[in-house]
């Protein structure tokens, strides 16, 4: 696959089989995240790969625990890969993905959010190249708010001044991998004078 094919073929997957991904793939995907552009060249983002379906599911439930549905009016994400916005009966924000990577950054660093999402983008592209399905998930900040969440961060050795910015779900698609969506028009302007 060329880079263009990878960029244009990747989709956000929200239906996963139980099959776990190989550790070597997880290592390569996390390494791709560490090569992302990062503000000031500081390489501050810390990535924790949770290759444990049960633990991933538990964190996925914590991710959705404080989800405020009252402000979603008109929201709609995907018919073929329904998100928690589309499907209120979903109990985990991680859709049964057997592996999840949590991306952390310093709480007071101005660019820690864009840094984390640059990592996430590299990771989902690297995953697709390897035939692994993925999805970026938000609400990192609130996911580990509980005593149970804080205990996990202590166990993993995440620095005390770091906060989770986002997640990358990893696994294998259950069913057909969806085709790319057509691009919305009128979003590009090239000015040459």
CA 162 vs CA 7, 113, 126, 144, 156: distances in Å: 30, 11, 25, 11, 12
The yes or no reply on residue 92 touching ligand FMN (CB under 6 A) is no
Q: Which residues contact 87 (CB under 8 A, 6 or more apart)?
A: none
Give exposure, 41-69, as e/b (b: 16+ Cβ within 10 Å): eeebbbbbbbbebeebbbbbebbbeeeee
**Closest distance to ligand FMN from the beta carbon of 84 (Å):** 6
User: By CB under 6 A, what part of segment 29-68 binds ligand FMN?
Assistant: none
The yes or no reply on residue 83 touching ligand FMN (CB under 6 A) is yes
> Hey, which residues does 178 pair with through a beta bridge?
none
The yes or no reply on residue 135 touching ligand FMN (CB under 6 A) is yes
Near ligand FMN by CB under 6 A, which window of 11-19, 32-40, 41-49, 99-107?
A: 11-19
CA–CA separation, 14 and 92 (whole Å): 11
Near ligand FMN by CB under 6 A, which window of 9-17, 35-43, 99-107, 143-151?
A: 9-17
Q: 135: part of which helix (H) or strand (E)?
A: strand 133-137
Near ligand FMN by CB under 6 A, which window of 25-33, 38-46, 68-76, 77-85?
A: 77-85
The yes or no reply on residue 11 touching ligand FMN (CB under 6 A) is yes
The yes or no reply on residue 14 touching ligand FMN (CB under 6 A) is yes
71 versus 181: smaller Cβ distance to ligand FMN: 181
The yes or no reply on residue 103 touching ligand FMN (CB under 6 A) is no
Counted residue by residue, the chain has a size of 193
Kindly determine how many residues on this chain lie close enough to bind ligand FMN according to the rule CB under 6 A: 13
User: For residue 8, what are its two tokens?
Assistant: 């244009």
Sites of contact with ligand FMN (CB under 6 A): 11-12, 14, 77-78, 83, 117, 135-139, 181
């Amino acid at each position: 696959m060329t880079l263009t094919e990878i960029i244009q073929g990747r989709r956000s997957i929200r239906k996963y089989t139980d099959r776990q991904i190989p550790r070597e793939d997880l290592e390569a995907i996390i390494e791709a995240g560490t090569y992302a552009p990062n503000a000031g060249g500081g390489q501050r983002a810390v990535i924790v790969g949770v290759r444990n379906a049960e633990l991933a599911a538990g964190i996925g439930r914590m991710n959705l625990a404080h989800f405020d549905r009252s402000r979603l009016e008109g929201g709609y994400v995907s018919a073929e890969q329904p998100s928690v916005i589309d499907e209120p009966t979903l109990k985990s924000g991680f859709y049964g993905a057997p592996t999840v990577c949590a991306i952390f950054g310093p709480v007071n660093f101005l660019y820690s959010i864009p840094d984390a999402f640059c990592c996430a983008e590299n990771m989902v592209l690297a995953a697709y190249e390897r035939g692994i399905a993925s999805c970026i998930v938000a609400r990192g900040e609130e996911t580990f708010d509980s005593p149970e969440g804080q205990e996990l961060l202590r166990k993993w050795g995440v620095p005390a001044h770091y906060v989770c910015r986002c997640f990358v779900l990893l696994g294998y698609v259950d069913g057909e991998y969806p085709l790319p969506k057509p691009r919305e028009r009128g979003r590009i302007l090239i000015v040459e004078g």
